[in-house]
Structure 1
């Protein structure tokens, strides 16, 4: 596919906003190179690839792995992504990663293209969607996991040396999994828009075909996926159930197809499925409510022919989206009961384990919602959940929402009490002992001597020395509630990175890069696709 950037069209217009300079307690925050952060973020996904690596692979210290995945079950499941520092391929977080990567490109594709990174972004998405196509072997069958978390965690091996179980697990009509089916449908629907805009109509159509089948499967055969695939319960259980994923997938399919039936589904089930009822303070691979509420809010900008009934329901979605945004900004009335937690330095803090996943997802949703506010020429109105029926609301300007998102991104990039960048490879100080089997071990490219299951614990995991390879672009779990970070492989709640931590930052860095360019009064650079785009 040639001249990708020349045909890549982003529907939303770029809205000029004020760039607010954030200040730390002692001095103005240092400026960051968001273009560099964007480039490194996309590089990270290459380190997480499973399968036979392409010739244009840039992360040289990785090799082919998982080449017999699915063989035992008679299906080709080679490819896809490892979610974190281990080697299990978990379907739900992988699909969420692809949804968020696709959403980033859909919102900020012009910025990504101008940075010369569109080809790498498309490759990152396609590496996931190619795998989903393989995993969706029949209309009502989706292979949702390869590997076993328990046996995998007993070993510290490079992916090229794996000796642990590669058993594959599926959901089907008798053993349903609505969450993973619907999230995979959302990912493929969102990606279908990306590739349609990029000029690849055939691949876009293929993705949309699978997305529609998967949504129908997840909706017709409803059931929790962790009840059907019990081995996932200790790693990616579904605490919110599957109704949020069904609404989320319906909205993405409406965007991808324009069909009213999907919008009608999201409207008709809004109350019963919690879409207009859940007021939440987090957005993650598990809990999609805030994301679908922000996505629904975009209909007020993009959908010109909403009926009065549809508009009323969409406004209810928007009310809950504003609760989430206000909660992140600590602007809801009612104190701690209605607002997300913060560290002393102002970082959003939801949970001790991998907290930056919630921060990166919040930064993205707030960035997108600030665009919604700008397009509607309206402020954010903050009221507590109990005041939905007309209580007084504090008005917050849209550029203040974007400024808060920027403050979270800048914290991740090093504007924090420890002066540490939590994006690996960015800045002078960043985590050097990331909890990651491949990055902490000798490169298979240079040392093909087999590393046994327990040998890696003695040789690499327990060693105090730095990892031999930087996991460039990975967003690690981050500091604790007191802004303190421990750079040690054993501190996995802080030093393990996940694909869904980095995916939303692709969009955030792209937006901030463009704003910084405008602030400096620079002309937009000529659009140029990455050379690897033609290999898609």
Structure 2
């Protein structure tokens, strides 16, 4: 939205995209309660940050929860507890700061709303970085905060999230103290990065995203000393990582050509899509600078594999192509809308059904194939057929980048891209 908002306007999707971002921003605002913000004694002198609604634990012996109940969200009646954190959840705080800050730039024409977003982001960030360093940590390290999420989204670091939040907060406010924090702590975050995480940009590692943003500052804003050298190292790191995606020496690939950025995990498509997105964005920066070529010139990759150019001839985006999966692991998509409410105990009939989903989850990307390019289109095999917000984020950014720029060479059908953009 920030880089290509004029193109969104050209295709009539600007207001729609803003509505989506506003919905998410309002949600993030509700998650954060600053100290003394209410008369409730629970919140006196203490900041609270809600993590999630619902979870995998039973509220009572034999009770239902979000992982064992195959039920439409509209039919949910079981108790869904709220998990709450304090400022020791440094990674969670950094992510919320980044989201609020980026959104404030989208809504800079709505001054009151933008100020509300940046005020919350600044308050949360200051609380997070002033927390006792011995108490700073990951949200999943605290049982009452992220204990229930540990088995699903276990966080392994937090400095990268605070750098990510500080970088976006600088873009939103222009306050150099936030940039100073981000640039000073970037190298510390690099030291915290796991070897197996290098080259990844996803929910558990924001370093590469921050590096791209810092390189953007180097290229398009002359901030001078002391930032120039640190920004240059960020740019060098960015080019090194992005070029490594194209090297046969850095990452393994499936026989069909899919890069395996995290070979021991399922859902390989999400990492490939996000890598494509960052590569496309950074290459646009270089094009604006008339810097073509470089250490990995004449090399390129596309997202054709995701859209059907793979050994299975299967499109992993629902609704696109001549053959796409029909049994997405998604409760609402799999249960018919027939005016009846179904209990959790009745849900397994659709989970294990071999029939196609009655509701098409148009545009969703699923986890994808295994490292042998093999894919099974069965609803009860989530490692193949489950979509998620996290896994679709990179694809949606990449898809919008290509379609708003009218770059059709990476797709088999230009008409589809136009239609998809209008729907999005």
Is TM more than 0.5 here? yes
Structure 2, unpaired ranges of 5+: 36-46, 58-64, 415-420
- Counterpart selection for 2:94 from 152, 161, 182: 182
Select the residue among 409, 412, 421 that pairs with 2:306. 412
Deviation at 1:377, TM superposition (A): 3.3
Secondary structure of 1:170's aligned partner = strand
The 2-side partners of 1:380 and 1:292 are apart by 23
Matches within 5 A, 1:130-209: 130-139=26-35, 140-150=47-57, 151-173=65-87, 176-196=88-108, 199-209=109-119
Cross-structure match for 1:313: 230
Would the aligned equivalents of 2:335 and 2:358 in 1 still touch at CA under 8 Å?
Answer: yes
Q: So what's the TM-score if we normalise by structure 1?
A: 0.68
Query: Compared with structure 1, are the counterparts of its residues 341 and 123 closer, same or farther at alpha carbon in structure 2 (3 Å cutoff)?
Result: farther
Runs of 4+ aligned residues of structure 1 deviating over 6 Å after TM superposition are 275-279, 529-532
- Deviations for 1:480-531, whole angstroms, at most 9, x for unmatched residues? 1122221101220110001122223333223323243799xx9xxxxxx989
Partner of 1:353: 266
**Residue 417 of structure 2: aligned partner:** none
Q: CA deviation at 1:124?
A: 1.6
Counterpart in the other structure of 2:344: 453
Deviations 1:266-287 (A, max 9, x none): 1222222327987712111011
**Residue 366, structure 1, aligned to residue 276, structure 2:** no
TM value normalised by structure 2: 0.85
CA distance in 2, matches of 1:153, 1:504: 25
2:318 aligned residue: 424
State the secondary structure of the residue aligned to 2:84: strand
Separation in structure 2 between the aligned mates of residue 312 and residue 347 of structure 1, nearest angstrom: 35
Residue aligned with 2:187, SS? coil
Measured against aligned partners, the alpha-carbon deviations of 1:436-459 in whole angstroms (never above 9, x if no partner) come to 11111122xx32x331112101x2
Residue 202 of structure 1 deviates from its aligned partner by 1.8
Deviations 1:355-379 (A, max 9, x none): 2111121111111111122233335
Residue 51 of structure 1 is matched in structure 2 by none
The separation in 1 between residues aligned to 2:311 and 2:110, in whole angstroms, is: 46
Q: Aligned Cα RMSD in Å?
A: 2.5
Which residue, 336, 344, 355 being the options, matches 1:442?
336
- Alpha carbons 1:426, 1:473 under 8 Å: kept: yes
Q: Which has the higher contact order (CA 8 A, sep 6+)?
A: 1
Deviations 1:21-76 (A, max 9, x none): xxxxxxxxxxxxxxxxxxxxxxxxxxxxxxxxxxxxxxxxxxxxxxxxxxxxxxxx
Matched residues in 1 for 2:128 and 2:72: separation? 35
Question: Which residue of 2 is the match for residue 249 of structure 1?
Answer: 165
1:138-172 deviations in whole A, cap 9, x for unaligned?
25211111101243211111111213431001111
Structure 1: 5+ residue stretches without partners: 1-104, 382-394, 523-528
Structure 1 residues 110-150: Cα deviation after superposition (integer angstroms, max 9, x where no partner): 22222222222112211111111111122521111110124
Give runs of aligned pairs for residues 322-401 of structure 1, distance below 5 A.
322-330=239-247, 335=249, 339-349=250-260, 350-351=262-263, 352-378=265-291, 395-397=295-297, 400=298
Alpha-carbon distance, 1:466 to partner? 0.6
1:300 aligns to 2:218 (yes or no):
yes
8 Å CA contact retained: 1:276, 1:316 = no
SS in 2 for 1:271: helix
